[in-house]
Amino acid sequence: MAVKTLDTASAAGVPRQRTAIRRYRCSRPVSVALADGIITKDTVVLDYGCGLGGDIRYLQKQRITAAGWDPHHRPDGTLGPADVVHLGYVLNVIEDPQERMMTLRRAYEFARRALIVAVRVDRTLDDADEFGDGYLTNRGTFQKIYTQAEFREYLEQTVGRRSHAAGLGMAYVFADDQAEASYLANRAFTRRLEYRTDLIAEFKKSRVAQRFVALANTLGRVPLPEEFRGYDRLVETFGSSERINRLTLHHIDSVSFDGSRAQRRDDILVFLAMLRLQGLKPPPISALPPTVRSDIKTIWPTYAAAQTEGTEFLFRLGDPQQVKQSAAGLPVGKLVADDLYIHRSIEDDLPALLRLIVFAAKQIVGDVIYNIIKVRTDGRAISFLYYPDFDHDAHPALQSSIRVYLPKATYDIRDYATSDNPPILHRKDAFVSTTHPLFQQFHGLTAAEERAGLLDAPNIGYRQAWRIVLSERGYSIRGHDLVKP
């Protein structure tokens, strides 16, 4: 990340820089935007206040069209409209509030689809000298430090559009309604069922038909022609689309088909509830992807009926009993008192109501670093927990916790990185599904520790107590094996 320091204000509204740090990877905001599909190979990116241009070089290596401008390092760089504009850690260093606001508005005006904004929201400068509405660092540079809530409120008041939290100190502001709807749809819609071809009867002689039926099982409906490569070959062999549909419906795996349709229904309800949760109107059905339009027409009599059910579904967030039932019915996860723990790998397979709760929490803090989610079974709080090296550490220690309180839209951060006695995990197999590649290793260790009576000892949820129990009983752990020296 380039370190941007205030010198003199440029006419374009971005502060001049004295120094910048060279980067050989992309910044976190750009990395997150790539993962979220905001930046793709089809987008043109402007890095507004690009420093030494590390993000530009990285994107160009990925064959993404990217250009940048910076008042000090690239004063002659490209400065004009682009699909996506990145304003990374610029607002922090602008001392003049009016100039800061002008910079944000100018960046948004350049964005045809979306603006990515990143600022510092940490409290590492609490001991620095106050200066205006920010601080002077020990290097004599100005830094405006935001809280997450203050950051998003500032964005929305300045630009006049809803912001979407992408992480702590990171947010998206969309200039295009359809791009905003597509972003939310990508977060809501998943196709989780695996292909099934074992129950195909008459179509089994045709490999193309087998693939078509398998896709129908996955989607929970007959695929659209544009969703299936080779559809023309099916028409040539079996006749009209109507005949293909009848043959497909006759030979589908009804259990897989019905299960997939139920999941697609849940996905659409989550999507519509996401929109309502943010005060956004559902887009016209014509603006939705063809596959989603087809799902809606298959499941509901009208788009209005789907919207009504989506609104009713949203209200379930405030019903602790329904949240509790969703958590209790999960075949995976670790339920401890009033908290459900799951691994991130099964997040997409959560019941719709729990997925909506996680989404609501991410609207407050964004997609932070975590690999375990803790959901309070009344639905009022979510914690994003990070255990480094979860896969290979038999009892990983908690490094950080971000607990989000949904009713108040606030959060707390706890850092255990320097703790001598951090919380640790046991029974890792309970957090993941049986399809996790390391499930058997996790399960084997849990079984061995249960046979040895180790998991019944008190206070083993902390590293020091666990080490004492192992030592007193003459055990040690190598990899995921329990051994006696």
Q: Is 432 in a helix, a strand, or coil?
A: coil
In the prediction, which pLDDT does 383 show?
Answer: 95
Q: Please determine, for residue 204, whether its predicted confidence score (pLDDT) is greater than 60.
A: no
Which residues of 337-388 form beta strands (DSSP E)? 339-343, 372-376, 381-386
What is residue 81's DSSP assignment? -
- Confidence (pLDDT) at 260: 67
CB atoms within 10 A of CB 84: 27
In contact, 152 and 74? CB cutoff 8 Å:
no
Q: Which helix (H) or strand (E) holds 104?
A: helix 97-110
Residue 226, pLDDT above cutoff 90: no
- pLDDT over 90 for what percent of the chain? 36
Mean pLDDT of the chain: 81
How far out from the chain centre does Cα 139 lie? 35
Q: Which residue has the higher pLDDT, 173 or 244?
A: 173
Region of 282 on the Ramachandran plot (φ > 0 left; ψ -120 to 50 alpha; else beta): beta
Report the topology of domain 28-175: Rossmann fold (3.40.50)
Q: Is the pLDDT of residue 483 over 60?
A: yes
Given a cut of 70, is residue 132 above it in pLDDT?
no
Q: Write the DSSP symbol of residue 267.
A: H
Residues in the chain: 485
For the ranges 86-100, 252-266, 373-387, the maximum mean pLDDT occurs at 373-387
Q: Which of 20-24, 193-197, 292-296, 355-359 has the highest mean pLDDT?
A: 355-359
> 304 is written with which tokens?
């209005």
* Confidence (pLDDT) at 134: 44
User: What value, to the nearest 5°, has the Cα angle with vertex 367 and ends 180 and 97?
Assistant: 75
pLDDT tens per residue across span 137-154: 555 565 777 888 889 889
Give the gyration radius of the chain's Cα atoms.
26
Contact status, residue 340 vs residue 319, Cβ threshold 8 Å: no
Query: Tens digit of pLDDT for each residue in 17-66?
Result: 434 444 446 888 898 888 788 998 899 999 999 988 999 999 999 899 99
pLDDT at 288: 79
Ranges 8-17, 173-182, 183-192, 467-476: which has the least confidence: 8-17
**pLDDT (0 to 100) of residue 60:** 93
Residues 206, 210, 216: CA angle, nearest 5 degrees: 145
Position 110 pLDDT exceeds 60: yes
- Percent of the residues in the chain that have a pLDDT greater than 70, as a whole number: 82
Q: What does the block give as tokens for 78? A: 């490209």
Whether the CB-CB separation of 129 and 44 falls below 8 Å is answered with no
Instruction: Inform me whether the pLDDT recorded for 354 exceeds 60.
Output: yes
Q: Where are the domains of the chain?
A: 28-175, 177-318, 323-415, 433-483
Query: Could you tell me which of 72, 105, 74, 73 has the C-alpha nearest to residue 87?
Result: 105
- Comparing 24-28, 248-252, 268-272, 364-368, which segment has the lowest mean pLDDT? 248-252
For residue 250, the model assigns a pLDDT of: 62
Residue 442 Ramachandran class (φ > 0 left, ψ -120 to 50 alpha, else beta): alpha
DSSP 146-184: --HHHHHHHHHHHH-S-EEEEETTEEEEES-HHHHHHHH
231 pLDDT band, cuts 50/70/90, is confident
Q: What would the pLDDT profile of 261-307 be if each residue is shown by its tens digit?
A: 777 888 888 888 888 887 778 888 887 777 788 888 989 999 999 99
Q: How far apart, in whole angstroms, are the C-alpha atoms of residue 369 and residue 341?
A: 16
Instruction: Give pLDDT, residue 32.
Output: 85
Confirm if 386 and 371 have CB atoms less than 8 A apart: yes
